[in-house]
Amino acid sequence: MSAVAVARTYPVPRGATSLERWSIGVAETVARWATARAERREDRREAMLAAIQAEQTQKPDPRAADHLLAQMGMPRR
């Protein structure tokens, strides 16, 4: 997860109309949503890369070949 802290608040000008205030609020909401979505995607990517690395660094089971030979009905080594 990124260490982004959204501490930005947009000041609403004193003479802003209700439409302008609403649009500033919508913009803040969309920015929070987009940031959270990007952070979730980054977390999923990191978890996927960690799983791939763990899978690739596993030691092979020395009995796996014997097991597969036995399943095929062939004599074991």
- 10-residue mean pLDDT profile of the chain (77 residues): values are 60 85 92 96 97 89 85 77
| Rounded CA separation 20/38 (Å) | 27
Per-residue pLDDT at 58: 81
Per-residue pLDDT at 50: 96
| Rounded CA separation 36/27 (Å) | 14
Per-residue pLDDT at 5: 58
Vertex 73: Cα angle to 69 and 75 (nearest 5)? 60
> Does the model's pTM come out above 0.85?
no
Structural domain spans, the chain: 18-71
Closest listed residue to residue 66, CA positions, set 57, 56, 76? 76
| Rounded CA separation 65/31 (Å) | 54
Per-residue pLDDT at 3: 56
